[in-house]
Amino acid sequence: MNERRLIEAVQTDGPISRAALVRRTGISPPTVSKLVESLIQASLLEEIEPLSGSTGRPAKLLRLAGESVRIVAAVVDIQQCSLAATGLDGTLHEDRVVRFRTPGDYVKLLDALVEHTQRLTSADKTTTLAVGLCIPGLIDRRRQRVLLSANLHLLDGRLPAADLQRRLNLPVVLLHETDVLCLGQRAFGPARGLDDLVLIDAAGGLGMAVMIDGQLLAGYRGLAGELGHVTVEPRGRPCGCGNIGCLETVASDATLAELVSQRLGQTIDIDRVVEMARRGELQADAELNQTLDYLAIGVAGTVNLFNPAAVLIHSRMFDVRDDAFERLRTTVARRALTPSLAECKILRASGGKLESAVAATISHLTSVLGPKV
């Protein structure tokens, strides 16, 4: 547990000296010194020289290992997969990032993930600690099985982490994409340091992750947080989950793109919608306002249910019009309970899934050290 406390302190405040770690954690100096040496030997921490200009004989600083070990983060999304190899410091270098179109077949997906992971990890002799595999859908976290991926059915019933682990001979952990985004926002984004927050991903579908007291809410089988599959239109459109009128059918980037496509008589994705709208080639106010109104219902519901310090929303629809995000916040304010919203920030998530997958993989490695205290 003390090792984990040190790792989290370095992750949050590093580079940091041993003396500062003592003050930050309250652990005694001899214990900090002993644990630091152990973590350096385990290649989880590394020492660096202090900044130039320091007076006297400044102590060396500690940071998460950036060069001596690495992890691989892999994001499987509806249309594109992304992989990155990086140190525990989470720094991404474009020459260590690979992107490819998501295959339509499970075996071909595994083949591509294996090929690109091996390419990223065979460039040198650096030790790879783990692979974090981020996927969309319902995951049985205890069994590491995908129960249902409403927008990527080739994963249904599969054990992709175990299948990859056998082929790569590396530890592989299965990560839910909304959990990944939540951990990324807390590690590197605007939710840094917050212990009570909600992350809503309104991109391809609509997912949610909830963090309470610094712990992700999982539920009995790890399925908690499926906001997107709450019925809001009993006679609405079919959803990929098999139900009708789910929130994700009316409140996502994919919804907005589909509404615009229907009006134009041609299929365009959200990136194209944003591009055309920003150039003044497309007026999508009606479709955007409708989508924002439904999304606001979901956001207000999470505020009322969980009373978080912040709700972060990952979506490109806010790029369609300059006032889109402010319109969402105004609508949420009308629908949420005033006392629950009073000290809750509604924020736009920053960064992408790949950066967040890196943060989540690092979080998994540190959580192995011991329970959070």
What percent of the chain has pLDDT above 90?
59
Conformation bin of residue 166: beta by default, left when phi > 0, alpha when psi is -120 to 50: alpha
Higher pLDDT pick, 117 / 68: 117
Query: Of 145, 150, 87, 166, nearest to 121 (Cα)?
Result: 87
Angle (CA) 168 171 10, round 5°: 130
Task: Write down the pLDDT at residue 339.
Answer: 97
Question: Where residue 370 falls among pLDDT bands split at 50, 70, 90?
Answer: very low
CA distance 182 to 198: 7
CA distance 58 to 201: 44
Query: DSSP assignment of 193-256, as one string?
Result: T-SSEEEEE-SSS-EEEEEETTEE---SSS-TT-GGGSBS-TT--B-TTS-BSBGGGTSSHHHH
State the average pLDDT over residues 195-201: 95
CA distance 129 to 302: 36
Question: Where residue 373 falls among pLDDT bands split at 50, 70, 90?
Answer: very low
| 311, 297 contact by CB (below 8 A) | no
Tell me the average pLDDT of the chain.
90
Which distant-in-sequence residues (6+ apart) come within 8 Å of 368 by Cβ?
none
Which distant-in-sequence residues (6+ apart) come within 8 Å of 190 by Cβ?
310, 312, 347, 348, 349, 350
Question: Where residue 53 falls among pLDDT bands split at 50, 70, 90?
Answer: low
Q: How many CB atoms within 10 Å of residue 5?
A: 21
Higher pLDDT pick, 154 / 24: 154
Structural domain spans, the chain: 2-64, 69-181+354-367, 192-349
| 188, 90 contact by CB (below 8 A) | yes
One fold for 69-181+354-367 and 192-349: yes
Please give the CATH topology (third level) of the domain spanning 192-349: Nucleotidyltransferase; domain 5 (3.30.420)
Task: Write down the pLDDT at residue 12.
Answer: 74
Domain spanning 69-181+354-367, CATH architecture: 2-Layer Sandwich (3.30)
Tokens of 220: 């009995």
Dmax over Cα atoms in the chain, in whole Å? 73
Lowest mean pLDDT among 136-145, 147-156, 193-202, 297-306: 136-145
> Which tens digit of pLDDT belongs to each residue from 303-332?
999 999 999 999 999 999 999 999 999 999
3-state helix, strand, coil in the chain (%, to 5): 45, 20, 35
Higher pLDDT pick, 286 / 65: 286
Tokens of 147: 């129960």
Domain spanning 2-64, CATH architecture: Orthogonal Bundle (1.10)
Question: Where residue 372 falls among pLDDT bands split at 50, 70, 90?
Answer: very low
Task: Write down the pLDDT at residue 249.
Answer: 96
> Which tens digit of pLDDT belongs to each residue from 202-258?
988 899 999 999 888 988 888 888 999 999 999 999 999 999 999 999 999 999 999
- The residues pairing with 172 across neighbouring beta strands, listed in sequence order, are 131
Is it the case that residue 197 has pLDDT exceeding 90?
Answer: yes
Task: Write down the pLDDT at residue 89.
Answer: 79
Phi, psi values for residue 303, rounded to 5° = -60, -45
By the 10 Å C-beta count (0-12 exposed, 13-18 middle, 19+ buried), 338 is classed as exposed
| 106, 187 contact by CB (below 8 A) | no
Tally helices (H) and strands (E) across the chain: 12, 14
CA distance 114 to 104: 16
